[in-house]
Chain A
Amino acid sequence: MQRRIAILFAAVMLLATSASALVGDPLKLVATSASALVGDPLKLVATSASALVREPLKLVATIPDLADIAQAIGGERVSITTLCKGTENTHFVTAKPSHLVAMSRADALVEIGLSLEMAFVPGLLEQCRNDRLQPGKPGLINTSEGWKALDVPVVLDRKQGDVHPQGNPHMNLAPSGGRQMAERIFAGLCALDPSGKPEYQKRYDAWLAELAEAEKRWSALGAAWKGRKVVLYHKEFDYLAAEYGIDVLGSVEPKPGIAPTPGHIADLVERMRREKDVVLITAVWSNNKEVREIAERTGARVVELPNMCRGVPGTDTWIRMMDLVHQRIDAAFRPATPKEAKSGG
């Protein structure tokens, strides 16, 4: 009996291993065997061929915003895998098998940094064993390098909630964040693929021109927002508020990442009632019952904003997402129509 079970177990293990080898990468298996047989001449041919037909750089972007900008600058010289979906909360992303595979094969990882991707990037970096992506290597493109972060904690302890040691990590939601991300991606691609620099430069310039047009649109809307009052759910839109002089009265989360308590909600409601025309800003993931409750008790307008591109329809690029963010905020700040006023928001 014991022997039969042992044989059965060995068979299961062998089956799983063989299946994996077959399902995995049959071409790689053949190539490895062929290379072992033929040796160096095959490598020589392969190297020569690769010089003629260049493989695109394999990039992994942590969030869709970075994937969009990297694609805009990299064009056909890059192929991109995105880890996080536009609808997800970056603090709760689960690493998946496909993420591990993509990271193990990548030439570069493009990340926001500032610990935004703390939930999934460190584990993947350690497990993927891809030396090209490790800290200090050109394959790790940290787009927040050189960024002046808000809310850098003076004291690091958990009394402050789920704070990030390097400051507020939601740089991708700053109107000026696009320029920062693009600059770092451009520099990173040029370092990895110097021969592609002329093409990257051309595409980078074209993207910056598109951004400049968008910035004019955003400035035109944002000029009227100075001094307007908002309450945020999570501290995602602080950069945007700071850039336009919007007054952030508080947040639904008492501290970053900490669920609201009844006492905190009562205080917040009291503060909001003392002010007029407060807009409650939420992201797709945080438009929940607490937000609805506060809106009901205060009559505040709720505006749901995308927190990453591709999270809601019409935000397939970072610039279009920021267009929508500006349009929705502007609409929320406009005086309520009689119908809206009657319905309370």
Chain B
Amino acid sequence: MHAKILLFGAASAALTLPVQAQGAVFQTPGMPRSAAPANPASGSNAGQSTRFDNSFNPALSFVFDGVADQVNADGGDDGVDLSLRVLELAAQAWVDPNAWAYFIAAADEESLNVEEAAVHYTGLGGNSTLRAGRFFIDFGKQMQTHVHELRTLERPLVLRTFLGDEVKGDGVQWDCWTTTGDAGALRWSIGAFRSLLPEAEDDGTSAFAEVAERKSAGDLNATARVTAFHDVGDNGTFQLGASARVIPDYAFAFSPSGDAAVGLDNTVYGVDVTYGWHDDTGLERWTVGGEFLVSTGDVGADVTDVGSDGDPTNDTVAAVDDTRTGWFAFVDCAWNPSHSVGLQYSSTELTDAAGSDASEVEAYYTWQLSEFHRLRFAASALESDLDPDAQRFAVQYTAIVGAHGHGVNW
């Protein structure tokens, strides 16, 4: 009986105690501290009677990106396809006066991944920002941007070949900018990451790149970028940038045979230039730009069929230690906020030992149905020494609901 009374008394006391909104009901000694509860705004909640107040919840958003396309390939996969490319869920909010955080989870037809989850700390003073967590790399004008937010249906071929379609890293990055006169600014960033290899799955048919999970500090993957932008007249802006992505130590492995090429390194450099112009109303816009890239070091790997019996268990892997170059250029014209057309061309040397080439051209028309969703009609053609030549016709629909942001830098 005494025990029952004590338990009842403890439970009643707990209900009247100030409690932690996201933590345990009791904050007993030794428990991790959790965020203080939100202060209920007004009315009946003013007496701090609930721990489920949502006043300080983050801004939520989601993005839907779907594509219907027809591919004609010379000897490859062709036909019609309908796909949900990505459903992106995001939340962002200030953590305290000096830091804001966000996360982006992306679901495609097969998986759900945390694409980005990072904190921007702005309390260092000056124009510095420290970003930590998982986020897209600061390389050129495009790599910070998710594919569904690009002007084009796909990222330029050379970026996909040298860096990957979407490259995110777990790490930390320092960002800073300064003024250069009255109409210009210069920004730079340096980042260190666990791994900046493009995402890929070991399909057992080609060499698979991997970075060791634990490594010496000197083997951390890194990025660096410096970019300057300046007004050109009343209606133009010019931007010039240089970027680098370094992977000091990685390996190529071929799982059927167990062979691997280790102690490899790869560095990609890029120089980008962009010019934007708008008319006096701000509604008609032209943008032209491009980037030249050099990939150097161990740019790829070839698997050699040993024994020539079709049995892969004896095959060997050899890294391709060489330098490859590639570039892309684009022009985009929006004659009003609802309608734009554009053209993008990309050419690159591939990363095989033979030094094959490939190029891709994409033309598109984008109809911005409103500020929050759009339709895009795109036609592209790929010519490659390694893969079948292909033509693609696509309709892309993208909708953005809520306050969506990725913390993309200029």
Contacts and interface: CB of A to CB of B under 8 A. Distances in A.
Given A2-B296, A24-B179, A285 B283 contact: yes
Contacts of B404: none
A161 interface: yes
Tell me what chain B mostly uses at the interface: helix, strand, loop, or mixed: strand
A44 B271 CA distance: 46
Contacts of A24: 178-181, 184, 186
Contacts of B55: none
B242 A129 contact: no
B179 A101 contact: yes
Interface stretch (A61-69, A92-100, A179-187, A332-340): A92-100
Contacts of A88: 280-282
Interface string B239-272: 0101010000000000000000000000101010
Interface in B307-337: 323, 336-337
Interface stretch (B141-149, B227-235, B388-396): B227-235
B281 to A, nearest CB: 4
Contact of A259 (B181, B186, B338): B338
Contacts of B338: 259
Interface in A85-132: 85, 87-89, 92-94, 96-98, 100-102, 104-105, 127, 129
A267 interface: no
Nearest to B271: A12
A16 B370 contact: no
Interface residues of A, number: 41
Contacts of B282: 85, 88-89, 92-94, 285
A101 B182 CA distance: 6
A5 interface: yes
A162 B228 CA distance: 33
B109 interface: no
A296 B230 CA distance: 44
A97 B242 contact: no
A98 B228 contact: no
B185 A97 contact: yes
Interface of A: 1-2, 5-6, 9, 12-13, 16-17, 19-21, 23-25, 85, 87-89, 92-94, 96-98, 100-102, 104-105, 127, 129, 158, 161-162, 257-259, 284-285, 288
15 contacts: A1-B296, A12-B242, A13-B188, A24-B184, A25-B179, A85-B280, A89-B281, A89-B282, A94-B276, A98-B182, A101-B185, A102-B182, A158-B401, A259-B369, A285-B283
Given A1-B296, A94-B278, A259-B338, 6 more contacts: A5-B269, A16-B228, A87-B280, A96-B183, A101-B183, A104-B127
